[in-house]
Each structure stands twice: as C-alpha cells, then as structure tokens.
Structure 1
C-alpha cells in the first residue's frame, strides 16, 4: 500500500480542518508513539501531513522507534551555528539521519508580516545542518532534507508586490512578483543550491483545499518520488535491514488495522 495522490490531497485538506482521515492518522500516530494530535510538532494543522510523511517510512519497513513526529519523541538535531534545532518530522536509523522535514505555511491577510521569517527559517535550518555535516557531526550516510510549504491562495498572495526602495536596487526578477511567485522562486533556488533534497510547494485555501502546484518540479509527484528514491538508495546500503512485510505486514505495526478499515482499505 503506497502513499497515493489522494492521501496527499486529503492531508492538505486536513490542514484547513476540512477533512480528516482519522482512522489512518490515529493508527500511524499510535504506531510511531506520537500520542495525541496535540503532541505533533507544528500543531493540529500539520498533523495529517506529518502522518503522511511517516507513512512512507513505515511502509518501507522502518521500525516505529525510528520515526519521530511529536515533540515528546526528541525532534532536535545537531547544528553548527547553534547546539541543536527542532525539526518537524525526523527519521533516523542506526547512526544515519534518514530524513528530516520542515513543514511551514504562509497565510493572510498580511502576507508581508511573516514572509521574510519563513524565508529565513528555511535557510537557517538547512544551512545550519549542512554545515554540521561538514563538521562531521553526522557520522552515518549523508542526511536528506525535505521542505513542505503551503501558501494560502487568496487575492493578497496573488497580487503583485512592489519591493521597497532600499539602499541598493533589488534583483530585477523580483519586480512584479506576487508572494506566491516570490515563494516559488525561493523554493526553486533552495533546490538549485542543494540546501534541500526535495521541496513541495503548494497553494491552497480553506474555501478550496484541493492543492495547486504552481511549479512542476516542486509538485507532489516529484516530492514523493524523491522520498521514495531516498528510501531505495538506503535500502541498497542495507537500511533498515528488513521490510515491514517480512515481519508481518501492516498488522504487525497496527494491530487490528484491517478490522478497523485502516490501511488495508486504501
């Protein structure tokens, strides 16, 4: 049972509180020891997306103790410019950081209030960890980083924004861009500079939660393919060393799941 496009759309809808795949979410949280919804890092809005990302690794056979989606599960990772930083979803196995994900959003009505904060957060998290790798603070296989971002789709995020007049002129490309356009370019540059290994950038709203993917290379198809490629790469190197199916399939992770209409129903 793979992670599907419908799983992705349901998770984005759940961000807006519109739709909840409650049975599967609660089963995955129980399987990885994440406890209640309120314990998940990022608050209830990102619960379903954290669960969606966890599902990739549960399906691939990673033991529940390798998957962290709750604050109580120790989401902190070593940094270089600071001792540590708390990520949103962390998968470790033996001495390898299998994957770490940041999940962020930008909403209105005043998009400008938090736009720079979101940019600085994404840059700071990646640069800090990448530098820590160079300092040999991560001793296993090279860490893999993912970034999932939701931009609220409304008039304010679609409207062109004029850069402020500063001491020196801004790069020409920024003129005439909306906040949606600005963040699309930002995410493309994150990938071009290899600060993140995969980025998913979507626009959505409570009124119309079905996600729109403005940049083809940053869509869900590419993001999920990158996660799957990471899992396959480590599998060739012997991680995690067994598959979930080899030790009893989903029932071994979620006892009674079939009877409850859980993953087997997908």
Structure 2
C-alpha cells in the first residue's frame, strides 16, 4: 500500500489547525493591539490582564518583567503572541526571567528581550529599546551613543557566532524595536562637533529623531537586523508616529509573519516536538 506523502509547509500547518484561514492568521495581531502596547509603555493604558494571559501561556521562567523593564511588558507579550498563534510550543517562547541569554562571539552570552527557539533553530530574538529626554529633556544627549552601540554590539556579536556549534539550525532572525520619546528636545537640530575629518553632509541639521531614523534605515539596509521598527511617541500623545514608511509596524509585523511562514515551509515547528 502506497503511503501518502507527508504534509509540509502551509498544508501541514493548516492540518494542525494553526493556520485555518490566511486572513485570520494575518489579523491575529492587530494594529490596535500595537497601539495599545505603545500606550501601555507610557502607562496610559492598562494591558496587565492581556499581558498576564500571554506570559502565563509561554515558557517556564517568565514570571518577572521583561529585561528592559515593565514598560515593555505589553510589547514583549504582543511579539510572543505572533508565535503562540502560529502554534509554537509555549516552552519555546521566552519574554522574561530565565532563558533569554544567547551565545555571542566577542562575549560568552547576552540577554535579549524576547527569544523564540525550536530545537536547534533560533527562530527569533528581539531587542526592545527606547530613548527619552528625562525631566530636563537632556537624556537624548546623554544616552544617544549608548543606544547606538548597544544595538550594533548585540547584533554583530550574535551574527558572528551564528554558526555551529551554537546555532546549528536555520539562520537566526533578529528584530529591533525602538521608541523615541517625542519632545522638543528630540525634534530640535543637533550641533555637529568640529573634528579633524568631516562627517556626511546629511547629518548636519538633523534632530535626534532624524539621526535615529537614519541609523535604523542603515541597520536594516546593512542587514545588521533582519527587521527594524522605529516609532516616536510620548506619554501626552501615545499614538505612535512612524516617520519612516519602511520601518513602520506594518513592515515589522509582516516580516515576523514571513519568518514564521518561511520556517513552516521547512517543517518548523516539528510535529514530534509539539505538545499533545
């Protein structure tokens, strides 16, 4: 008797009930969910109940707040929801507590904010960062370079290590999400210091918002991160602004869904590793 060919990819996912309808799957995480998570970052909207539901559903060791602080709880939970909805085992998804440290090359390991693994594959790792002005609106000048160096260092370190024996599955996927506080201090032009060599002309007259927009464009263009989302927002006006079309939430969420579908076509997650 001839055995039927095993299902793979989208057919396989559908047979498991994970993608019953393409449109439904694409809308599992909505624009409103995103805007609510940003509002929760500023403490404007209470999403504690939804965050608790997702945190309780994902892997062990996630009882605490996310590494970046409780401000990012709602966003971390929202990112986890993409993978929960796609049928990844809860133990594969980590948004706080233990299991967030990943091997590097220039250092032994580094903690990320959201980590999704399956078997030997690093499905996704997310870095969640923000830059605010503080009480005197001077936090931008104090912390701008730190944010640049943190994001570069994290990604370059992991990418350099992204080969066996550390990451022997499919190539790791990295996402970067950044919130710039929208205040006069971040919108004002910043002076360029005089030095022995000139800088690119485009940097002159830029604000911190403009500088970070250009920085995020380059992170994505140079494939330092697989996808980048850059928004501006504030406690007084939490509705996110997306100054760069290609770095908006629509592109970011589409890239996450594409990563999930790509791995599904390769048979990830595997049937024999899913909970019964």
TM over 0.5: yes
Are 1:176 and 2:205 an aligned pair? yes
Give 5+ residue unaligned stretches, structure 2: 1-23
Distance 1:78 1:222, change over 3 A: same
Are 1:77 and 2:106 an aligned pair? no
SS in 2 for 1:186: helix
SS in 1 for 2:117: strand
State the superposition RMSD in angstroms.
1.6
Aligned match of 2:92 in 61, 66, 69? 66
CA contact 1:34–1:40 (8 Å) conserved in 2: no
CA contact 2:65–2:73 (8 Å) conserved in 1: no
| TM-score using structure 1 length | 0.88
Are 1:126 and 2:155 an aligned pair? yes
In the alignment, what sits opposite 1:11? 37
Distance 1:182 1:135, change over 3 A: farther
In the alignment, what sits opposite 2:3? none
Give the superposition deviation at 1:129. Answer: 0.7
SS in 2 for 1:101: strand
Are 1:200 and 2:223 an aligned pair? no
| TM-score using structure 2 length | 0.85
CA contact 2:61–2:99 (8 Å) conserved in 1: no
**Pairs within 5 Å for 1:211-222:** 211-222=240-251
Aligned counterparts of 2:69 and 2:91: Cα–Cα separation in 1: 21
Give 5+ residue unaligned stretches, structure 1: 249-266
Distance 1:24 1:34, change over 3 A: farther
Per-residue CA distance 1:221-261 (angstroms, 9 max, x = gap): 0000000000000001111135xxx989xxxxxxxxxxxxx
Aligned counterparts of 1:103 and 1:3: Cα–Cα separation in 2: 18
Aligned counterparts of 2:182 and 2:54: Cα–Cα separation in 1: 29
In the alignment, what sits opposite 2:142? 113
Aligned counterparts of 1:5 and 1:247: Cα–Cα separation in 2: 30
Aligned counterparts of 1:89 and 1:39: Cα–Cα separation in 2: 11
Give the superposition deviation at 1:40. Answer: 2.2
Give the superposition deviation at 1:87. Answer: 0.6
SS in 2 for 1:150: strand
Distance 1:217 1:21, change over 3 A: same
**Pairs within 5 Å for 1:134-213:** 134=163, 137-213=166-242
Paired positions, count: 243
Aligned match of 1:100 in 125, 140, 144? 125
Per-residue CA distance 1:29-60 (angstroms, 9 max, x = gap): 11114554x43221110000100000000000
In the alignment, what sits opposite 1:40? 66
Give the superposition deviation at 1:134. Answer: 4.8
